[in-house]
Amino acid sequence: MLGPPGAGKGTQAERFAKARDIPRISTGDILRDAVHAKTDIGLRAKAIMDRGELVGDDVMIGIVNERLGRNDAVNGFVLDGFPRTVAQASALDGIMSKRDPLIVVDIVVPEDELVRRLGTRSICRLCGTGASVGSTVGAACAKCGGPLVQRADDNQAIVIERLKVYHRQSEPLVEYYRIRPTFRSIDGAQSPDRVAADLAAAIEAAGRGAVGVRG
């Protein structure tokens, strides 16, 4: 799933993965868990994430390669937040070479709407569940009752940096994938229900486009 920060990738990936009973694999969540657990990767990633920059390709490709090899991903998965660079996309093509073709959906949202959303979203400090845009910081998490806080990298200065990083390093992925019959683009500036419906339809159509294609 492609799209800038705040496009709704997490929300939509979660919904779609649940509906299809496949795992949602969010590299941002994996890194935040590693930071929380103070693992080697977590300790190295924290400062990079706090600046709104990208963690190195080798580390990210290693994480995803390992995760996609687990049993729960054999029948499919939703990747949220990966790839974010052309080098990651090219490595992913290698990882996927003997599997069904990737379906790539780009969620498009205007920049001013992204800034608004990122400034008003929150996350549970205890379990890390993302709350819907506009939910009050300080309210209780619907899943575990923990306090909702602003994500450290959602403060305004970092948001601007993350959007710059997106345009510079991740937007070229749209060109990388656009020529494939399994690429679709959807309007993410609609209600979550409409985006979910468009996403399901796009994946269905892209799946038909995938017949006979590998990689």
Q: How big is the site for ligand AMP, counted in residues (CB under 6 A)?
A: 17
Residue 185 is inside which H or E element, if any? strand 183-187
Catalytic annotation on 98? no
Name which position in 3, 4, 81, 188 contacts ligand AMP (CB under 6 A): 81
Nearer to ligand AMP by Cβ, of 103 and 159: the residue is 159
Residue 97 forms beta bridges with which residues? none
Assess 55 for contact with ligand AMP (CB under 6 A): yes
60 binds ligand AMP (CB under 6 A): yes
Answer yes or no: are the C-beta atoms of 77 and 25 closer than 8 Å.
yes
Which of 3, 23, 46, 82 contacts ligand AMP by CB under 6 A?
A: 82
Cα atoms found within 13 Å of the Cα of residue 200, Cβ hemisphere only? 12
Token digits for 17?
């993965």
Tell me the window of 24-32, 34-42, 68-76, 139-147 that interacts with ligand AMP (CB under 6 A).
24-32
Helices (H), 104-155: 111-120
- Per the annotation, the verdict on 162 as an active-site residue is yes
150/181 with CB nearer ligand AMP = 150
The footprint of ligand AMP on residues 107-146 (CB under 6 A) is none
Is residue 9 annotated as part of the catalytic site, yes or no? yes
Q: Do residues 118 and 99 make contact, with C-beta atoms less than 8 angstroms apart?
A: no
- Candidates 28, 101, 128, 188; binder of ligand AMP (CB under 6 A) is 28
Check 9, 15, 117, 184 and give the catalytic one. 9
Single-letter amino acid, residue 61: I
In this complex, which beta carbon is closest to ligand AMP, that of residue 23 or of residue 81?
A: 81
Judged by CB under 6 A, the stretch of 23-31, 103-111, 137-145, 188-196 that binds ligand AMP is: 23-31
Give the DSSP per-residue string, 193-214: HHHHHHHHHHHHHHHHHTTT--
Three-class SS state of 152: helix
Q: Is 81:193 a contact under the CB 8 Å cutoff?
A: no
Is position 166 an interface residue for ligand AMP (rule: CB under 6 A)?
no
Q: Is 103 in the site for ligand AMP (CB under 6 A)?
A: no
Residue 74 CA from chain centroid, whole number: 19
| 208 assigned to active site | no
For residue 67, count CB atoms less than 10 angstroms from its CB and return exposed for 0-12, middle for 13-18, buried for 19 or more.
middle
- In the bound complex, which residue of the shown chain has the CB atom lying closest to ligand AMP? 28
Interacting residues with ligand AMP (CB under 6 A): 5, 27-28, 31, 48-49, 52-55, 60, 81-82, 84, 88, 153, 162
